[in-house]
Amino acid sequence: MSSAALSNGYAAPEMAVLCRYAALYGEVQQSRLHRSLPLPSVLGTSFHVVDGPPSSAAGDPDEIAKLFPNLFGQPSAKLVPSASSACATKDQKALKIGVVLSGGQAPGGHNVISGIFDYLQERASGSALYGFRGGPAGIMKCKYVELSSEFIHPYRNQGGFDMLRSGRDKIETPEQFKQAEETVKKLDLDGLVVIGGDDSNTNACLLAENFRAKNMKTRVIGCPKTIDGDLKCKEVPISFGFDTACKIYAELIGNVMVDCRSSGKYYHFVRLMGRAASHITLECALQTHPNITIVGEEVAAKKLTLKNVTDYITDIICKRSEIGYNYGVILIPEGLIDFVPEVQHLISELNEILAHDVVDEAGMWKKKLQSQSKELFEFLPQEIQKQLLLERDPHGNVQVAKIETERMLIEMVETELEKRRKEGSYGGKFIGRSHFFGYEGRCGLPTDFDANYCYALGHAAGALLHSGKTGLICSVGNLSASVDEWTVGGTALTSLMVVERRHGKFKPVIKKALVELEGAPFKKFASMRDGWALKNRYVNPGPIQFVGPTAKAVNHTLMLELGVEN
Amino acid sequence: MSSAALSNGYAAPEMAVLCRYAALYGEVQQSRLHRSLPLPSVLGTSFHVVDGPPSSAAGDPDEIAKLFPNLFGQPSAKLVPSASSACATKDQKALKIGVVLSGGQAPGGHNVISGIFDYLQERASGSALYGFRGGPAGIMKCKYVELSSEFIHPYRNQGGFDMLRSGRDKIETPEQFKQAEETVKKLDLDGLVVIGGDDSNTNACLLAENFRAKNMKTRVIGCPKTIDGDLKCKEVPISFGFDTACKIYAELIGNVMVDCRSSGKYYHFVRLMGRAASHITLECALQTHPNITIVGEEVAAKKLTLKNVTDYITDIICKRSEIGYNYGVILIPEGLIDFVPEVQHLISELNEILAHDVVDEAGMWKKKLQSQSKELFEFLPQEIQKQLLLERDPHGNVQVAKIETERMLIEMVETELEKRRKEGSYGGKFIGRSHFFGYEGRCGLPTDFDANYCYALGHAAGALLHSGKTGLICSVGNLSASVDEWTVGGTALTSLMVVERRHGKFKPVIKKALVELEGAPFKKFASMRDGWALKNRYVNPGPIQFVGPTAKAVNHTLMLELGVEN
């Protein structure tokens, strides 16, 4: 690899282009723009791709095998340095590649694209890289831009997905598959890189299967993206964006903690992104040491009710009040409600009732609820009751996602505290303050870790397509070592899959990586939370630093899972 | 000044204490803890205090003179290097000083205290510094801690007011004044430093007047604190905390902007702190270039109605939709509603009606509203109407402060857009998302500017008390130069005052520094906003960096007001 590419490959004419952007770039953005990206050493040598043993599935292997007859069982792939430089020549085959950003934004997406681009420039000169605009819809509508060095450069090391924009469309129906086929044929694509979360990578695998079944030359490689951190497995230790997002949220939580300790009069209820999994909440807890942290997976495993969760919070608030603390910080995952089994029952009963019956003001309709659901409904704050009954989605379903869990919990805790006050078991003061940290963290400037990881993922995607692989997800490993020691390869997407029965049909899905209650991050948290509850052990991590010792810091979740931290 | 003090004066035993804290300090916190604080060069020499010409008041000088017979007209004071070192000896008089943090938190408060402490250590050896706990209540109840080097060190360069905590009590009644007198007598205080906003500094001046009137030796010096930035004048160019808070908010706004441009589907309505003045909103606009910014002072000056504001926003949304942008970012000051004259009328009419009449469901009570107020009430979203009628403070008054302006505006804009859609003049998509950035910014790690400024303010307070001054507010000037060239002194608090008539009595108040529509910051903003509205000129400043070129950056408002930036 030439030194030009290692230093991000700015040539003089490109600098002129950058100057146009510089006027709108803050100094920090600019300094990030010019940061060189290190690469795993294997990518700086001649390498070849070595296959591992055949793979299976995360569950239901027979069903997955039937759904992916052409791809099931593919081995993982790993880049290893070649003894001779013979392969280097073979490398120089020009490729036509498409890339798409799919789903919610995550810091680092631009560097994946930069990584693919630089790989092609360096290893497959004469190649073309097309960026599909607006997510998967761009593939179906054949809306794309041919990416040039000029086009890409202003986005290097920058947050957001604004280079191409993203979208949440899926390529699902036969008609949509046909549109995708037409696009890749029209552009004569050798490969397609799908940068997305679990759903998007499932989609990538279905496309790969479809193209192969039809003997088309287009191969498909996935890339693990999601700030939620729920797309991972042994060979794909982390999804990109999680590191940056958690650090941004932890900065804010840390600030709120200091504020809270300074004024001594508020309980801050902080809801954090993560609908299906509580990794963000857990990581932020490990970074900041809040008084109370609710982990959805634990709520589900222990089959807790909302009353249980409310009591857990209220108990700690009462104990804290006795030792003079009428303030605190509480972290709640966005998806908490989805983890409470009784809420699921209530919602499905409500959907059924609302679809067929009239909701009478006198409340006679409630008699149709099962007793547990009725009890839960009565326990909910009035505002939430109203919301459940009145605000429904276009399919007439109750909109659980619209419930602001942090505000709901404040109300429920308030009610419980008032009860205890009347009983004489609580004599403190309680003022709740609600926060939702979401959009603030999805598009921050990527940390060094995310920037480097994504750049390596992009190279991995390029190398896998270059060697003719399909249906793999990029895997970059050995992440606790320095970047040059990182391993680069790919893992069969089918090996991450299970089947779900939906509408009477088997549907393949990538198994969500939830917080494991026996995993190192949760166990560490669980061993410390009682101390954090009553003693104030707040840590204020401060803003992400791009220079200095903390620039190299990596999130606790990854380091604990890798066994490097304990 | 010895090199030990210049490097923050850590001696070996103190380091042992710090180690206890280190376990709970993130690496960035720790690196800030050990940061040396530069001082204006005059504080490194022998100096004496020179008086300027006599002062007047910001308004109503005759009334202010009557209210402060002992203090009115005091000259400003300035530290100048002494020709000989004769003064250095005279300096060495030991002092007993109290310090209090008053009102809302602002980044840098701890450094003011560190500055006072270090000044006394260096210049008045044998002195004692007492920190009153929990704000002004600590003075009245004589709750304090004697500050030691060990006690203070863990808070150096850290955010928050948690060293002593703050409080919002005022020392107002004769009884309370008496309590304060008893405390300062008991502690034999030579001086008291009040770190606070406009109200707290008014209070400081009343205390100073009272102590002098009674021939007590205790002198009182104020320090300009408030993230809102509304306590400033020519000699006090900025209040501390504003710089850090704005940069934290701007980081978040920048992230939301990139998110917004990436997904292309949301309008983000961001409410920012600042109830009485819109400085934070204006500064954040200058840092990030949002599509729409509402400045409360402009709304008041132009006597805009809520309907006008809604139309202004809606017009831009419609124009943006025509050029393909169905997304954007809108900044709103917390105090917007207070700036709208018609809202003030409605509120006072409502308070009157609610105090005497029954609010009938049929709405007959509305007939008591004047026509303009009735029209406004009908224009408000139902939720807000309910809130105004139902949620009242302990005095029965409508709680304007509880209205979440950003959510209210989203509803009003939505309604207006629907109207235009039916009329055929709007064909876009609108989804609003609300944010309130408040607590996140009040306790962040202080920027270099705030850290240095506060440390200098603390030294100024020490020097002013040391030279026998009272009733002054610390003023550190020449802030566009490097720290060693900063000027140090004090300004008569009475010179910042005007009178307000409350309950038939004249009350002295420090005149709030509002956004001046003829001032450089607003004029710069006004010259650029039309471009920002339709073209997307978003700037993402990124997180505060403590190392590198941006570590030295200072907010635009100050630089524009000083004429250094244009």
Q: In B, residues 2-61, which contact A (CB 8 Å cutoff)?
A: 24-29, 31-32
Query: By CA distance, what is A540's nearest residue in B?
Result: B26
**Residue B131 and residue B123 in contact, taking contact as beta carbons nearer than 8 Å:** no
Q: Is A335 helix (H, G, I), strand (E, B) or coil?
A: coil
Sign of CA dihedral B230, B235, B239, B242: positive
Closest CA to B52 of B472, B460, B486, B562: B472
Q: A 514-543 residues with CB below 8 A of B?
A: 537-543
Using CB atoms, pick whichever of B27, B158, B289 lies closest to residue A550. B27
pLDDT in tens, chain B (566 residues): 333 333 333 344 444 444 445 568 889 999 999 999 999 999 999 999 999 999 999 999 999 999 999 999 999 999 999 976 554 435 568 999 999 999 999 999 999 999 999 999 999 999 999 999 999 999 999 999 999 999 999 999 999 999 999 999 999 999 999 999 999 999 999 999 999 999 999 999 999 999 999 999 999 999 999 999 999 999 999 999 999 999 999 999 999 999 999 999 999 999 999 989 999 999 999 999 999 999 999 999 999 999 999 999 999 999 999 999 999 999 999 999 999 999 989 988 998 888 887 788 888 889 899 999 999 999 999 888 888 887 777 777 788 778 899 999 999 999 999 999 999 999 999 999 999 999 999 999 999 999 999 999 999 999 999 999 999 999 999 999 999 999 999 999 999 999 998 777 889 999 999 999 999 999 999 999 999 999 999 999 999 999 988 899 999 999 999 999 98
User: B542–A105: do the CB atoms touch at under 8 Å?
Assistant: no
Classify strands A219-224 and A191-196 as parallel, antiparallel or unpaired.
parallel
Contacts of B67 by beta carbon, 8 Å cutoff, 6+ apart: B209, B499, B506, B508
pLDDT of residue B22: 56
Chain A residues whose beta carbon lies within 8 Å of the beta carbon of residue B255: 159, 248, 439-444
B252 touches chain A (CB under 8 A): yes
Phi and psi dihedrals of B16, rounded to 5?
-60, -40
Residue-level length of chain B? 566
With a CB cutoff of 8 Å and minimum separation 6, the contacts of B48 are B79, B80, B82, B87, B467
Q: Do B541 and A28 touch (CB under 8 A)?
A: yes
CA B434 to chain CA mean position, Å: 23
Active-site residue among A91, A190, A228, A450?
A: A228
| A544 vs B contacts (CB less than 8 Å) | 543
Element (H, E) at B19: helix B12-22
Q: Residue ranges of chain A with pLDDT lower than 70?
A: 1-23, 84-92
CA pair distance A131, A194, nearest whole angstrom: 11
DSSP one-letter string for A147-185: --HHHHGGGTT--SSTTT--------SHHHHHHHHHHHH
pLDDT at A5: 33
Which residues of B are annotated as catalytic?
Answer: 228
Burial level of A259, CB count in 10 A (0-12/13-18/19+)? buried
Secondary structure (3-state) at A423: helix
For residue A74, give how far its alpha carbon lies from the nearest alpha carbon of chain B (Å).
Answer: 35
C-beta of residue B225 within 8 angstroms of C-beta of residue B103: yes
Phi, psi of A47 (to 5 degrees): -140, 165
CA neighbor of A274 nearest in space, from A304, A299, A297: A297
For the record, the structure tokens of B6 come out as 């210049």
Q: Do A545 and B28 touch (CB under 8 A)?
A: yes
Most A-contacting residue of B163, B443, B450, B552 (CB-CB within 10 A), to test interface: B443
* Model pTM score: 0.94
pLDDT number for residue A346: 92
Please state at what angle helix A306-322 crosses helix A520-534, rounded to 10 degrees.
40
* Chain A residues with CB-CB distance to B538 below 8 A: 24
Q: Inter-chain contact A160–B258, Cβ cutoff 8 Å?
A: yes
Q: Quick check: A462 and A49 in contact, CB under 8 A?
A: no
A to B CB pairs, distance under 8 Å: 180
3-state per-residue secondary structure call for A86-133: HHHHHHCCCCEEEEEECCCCCCCHHHHHHHHHHHHHHHCCCCEEEEEC
Backbone angles phi, psi at B93, to 5 degrees: -90, 125
Please check whether residue A263 touches B, CB under 8 A. Answer: yes
- Is A553 within 8 Å of chain B by CB? yes
Residue A269 has what DSSP assignment?
E
Check CB contact of A192 with chain B, cutoff 8 Å.
Answer: no
Asked if the C-beta of A272 comes within 8 angstroms of chain B's C-beta atoms, the answer is no
DSSP designation for B255: H
**What pLDDT, on the 0 to 100 scale, is given for residue B89?**
39
